[in-house]
């Protein structure tokens, strides 16, 4: 067995998510998009191998279907039976400024039992309607920034410009890779977003402006320890979800390396 696999498997029989949380306030999870090439049963198997017990679930493959309440309930029950807790849903796209479409998305999150929707690229004109449903459902919406290709939400700082005076339950999901590529320091972004930070997607880059330079966390230039320190300083209560977007057909070597590295950083901080 390789060293990285051993690091994942030769662990105490507790969730490493729980172990990290007991040492520091930073909680590690997985964005299910990491395992986008695999069905839910395999995702659960991967999560058990990693000993990570929290997931930000996306409607990809059968991870958390939005096709029917019954299909979603089946998925939620499968995660619960495996000891995996859903912490957020998304990325979900609010493409229509219509009550029926928006209500369906909030009902989807409610059935999943989560308090955070990660939202992708909503037009500013739909934000007041999103805010209305946030107040009705008491579910937070975290707008995900998507880097320089995104003309609206390149950086978390762009998101903040539109949120002044809005309900405090609408905020950001900081994607640290896209943030760096947009020319924003991810650490500064954490402090700027502060109480409006509801989720984080974490990854690493070998080159600050190159999307294709993603590597396993710890192999690149992302200031992981400083990001964790910033999260602790702002008393961040959400999850740090690994979103590993490379090697889609064989992600586990990089995922194991990434989780092991972040656990090592957290252990050192504790």
Find the CATH number of the domain harbouring 136.
3.20.20.150
The per-residue pLDDT for 100 is 97
- Is residue 47, in this structure, part of any structural domain at all? yes
The per-residue pLDDT for 21 is 42
Supply φ then ψ for residue 111, to 5 degrees. Answer: -65, -35
- Is residue 18, in this structure, part of any structural domain at all? no
- Is residue 15, in this structure, part of any structural domain at all? no
**pLDDT tens by residue, 33-85:** 999 999 999 999 999 999 999 999 999 999 999 999 999 999 999 999 999 99
- Is residue 13, in this structure, part of any structural domain at all? no
The per-residue pLDDT for 82 is 98
Stated pTM of the model: 0.90
> Cα–Cα distance between 183 and 185 in angstroms, integer?
7
Cis? peptide before 91, omega within 30° of 0: yes
- Is residue 235, in this structure, part of any structural domain at all? yes
- Is residue 6, in this structure, part of any structural domain at all? no
Per DSSP bridges, beta strands 54-57 and 27-31 are: parallel
> Cα–Cα distance between 246 and 243 in angstroms, integer?
9
Q: Which domain holds residue 184?
A: 28-269
- Is residue 10, in this structure, part of any structural domain at all? no
Largest Cα span, the chain: 54
Q: What is the DSSP string of 59-117?
A: SSTTSS--S-HHHHHHHHHHHHHTT-EEEEEEEE------HHHHHHHHHHHHHHT-SEE
Q: How many domains does the chain have?
A: 1
The per-residue pLDDT for 96 is 92
- Is residue 21, in this structure, part of any structural domain at all? no
* Ranges under pLDDT 50 in the chain: 1-22
The per-residue pLDDT for 170 is 98
Classify 230 as helix, strand or coil. Answer: helix
């Amino acid at each position: 067995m390789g060293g990285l696999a051993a690091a994942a498997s030769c662990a105490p029989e507790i969730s490493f998510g729980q172990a990290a949380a007991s040492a520091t306030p930073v909680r590690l999870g997985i964005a299910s998009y990491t395992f986008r090439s695999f069905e839910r049963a395999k995702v659960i198997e991967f999560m058990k191998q990693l000993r990570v017990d929290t997931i930000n679930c996306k409607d990809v493959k059968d991870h958390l279907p939005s096709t029917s309440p019954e299909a979603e309930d089946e998925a939620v029950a499968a995660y619960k039976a495996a000891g995996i807790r859903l912490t957020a849903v998304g990325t979900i796209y609010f493409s229509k400024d219509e009550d029926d479409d928006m209500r369906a998305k909030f009902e989807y999150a409610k059935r999943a039992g989560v308090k955070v929707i990660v939202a992708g690229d909503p037009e500013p004109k739909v934000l007041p309607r999103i805010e209305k449903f946030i107040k009705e459902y008491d579910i937070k919406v975290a707008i995900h920034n998507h880097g320089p290709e995104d003309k609206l939400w390149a950086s978390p700082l762009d998101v903040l410009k539109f949120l002044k005076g809005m309900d405090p339950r609408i905020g950001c999901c900081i994607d640290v890779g896209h943030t760096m590529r947009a020319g924003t320091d991810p650490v500064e972004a954490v402090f700027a977003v502060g109480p409006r930070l509801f989720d984080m997607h974490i990854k690493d880059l070998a080159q600050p402006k190159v999307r294709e330079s993603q590597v396993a966390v710890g192999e690149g230039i992302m200031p992981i320890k400083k990001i964790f320190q910033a999260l602790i300083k702002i008393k961040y209560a959400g999850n740090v979800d690994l979103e590993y977007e490379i090697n889609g057909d064989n992600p586990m070597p990089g995922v194991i390396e990434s989780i092991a590295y972040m656990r090592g950083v957290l252990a050192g901080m504790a």
